[in-house]
Structure 1
Amino acid sequence: MPSPISPRFSRKQALSLGLLGGAALLTACSADEDSLAAQANAGDSKGYIAGDGSVTEYAEAERGEPVEFENELFDGSTLSAASLRGKPVMLNFWYAGCAPCRIEAPELNSLHQTFGDKITFLGANVRDEKGTAEAFEKNFGVEYPSYRDLNGKVLLGLSKYVPAQAVPTTVVLDAQGRVAARILGQIDPSILRTILEEQANA
């Protein structure tokens, strides 16, 4: 597995990111910021784990092999990871009842409008039936397609990078289909914008 490197942010910026991640948790999934495991074992009915907004970038030389997955989109077509190569990809794991997914949806839409011609944007819905997912997309103006990943095929293909039930998680693939970055939890739009700019200009 590729070795993660620290994001190119100063110690002060990293502390600020940690505080932002904590604030996102308070408004989103849980007040418990200590560990993903503690949230998973809480015994409540939310059914997912809130990430802390942590960012992991992978050095180009350490990205390993391109990821492999294939699944059906909500429109009925099938799309494989191999067919996406040649262009960077932003892949966001989400579902309609996830509070931070709702918070970050407008930011992802804005980034899609900025980078949509240079980067392929996709969602991977891990829970909803078609009607629920489409209602979310309509309500939040989501213009890019999503995988219907109830069977977990996309999640399995990225299991080295995306913990099971960690929603939302955003993964950025480089043009070769290798994982370049991962954000666990609600995105910070400025950080994701920087990552996408780097991949668009690579």
Structure 2
Amino acid sequence: MDAFKSLEAIACPLPLSGIDTDQLIPARFMKRSRADGYGDYLLHDLRFDDLGQPRPDCPLNAPRWQGARILVTRRNFGSGSSREAAVYALVDYGFACVIAPSFGDIFASNAINNGLLPATVSEEDCEALLAGLEDGDCIARVDLEACEIRAANLVIPFRIDPVWRTKLLNGWDDIDLTLSHAAAIEAFQAKDSIDRPWLVPRLRKS
């Protein structure tokens, strides 16, 4: 997983609340191979009509937001089922960051494990950012080291769990995070083998 320090990119506003994982990747597309990518199916029923034609009122179809790598939306993003394919669809589409006032817990954890930053902002800041992106410049800069977003003449702080922040900054998965404490683990094992020698497994002689 690549390290995430900062990102400057087009930010697409999606002013909807409660977008759940079933909307992010409809179940009928989940039989397809991950190797083929899920990006084409991201928010499929929001982006396309019953005939498969792009809906002109969907921001993701607007020319000015093509190539967006940052998504700005409203509260409770990624609620619903635990399907990790919802994160795959966002990442495969090209998104590296989602900004919202709140996220589904499992979705946010899956996002971190796939290098997608879930940046939590206040309701007020979210509405100001949505309005600014719709009316003005659509370029935003997300700085994970400073936990700060700059866009539409706004400077907005965001929140993220400190452990998740460490993982993204270093490009670590859960195993990498554990290995970062290898020295402390080895020191504990050495001391514990002296303090409680009866717990140390012993090989039987053949």
The answer to whether TM tops 0.5 is no
Which structure shows the bigger proportion of residues in helix conformation?
2
TM-score when scaled to structure 1? 0.28
TM-score when scaled to structure 2? 0.27
- Bigger Rg, which one: 2
Higher relative contact order (CA 8 A, sep 6+): 1
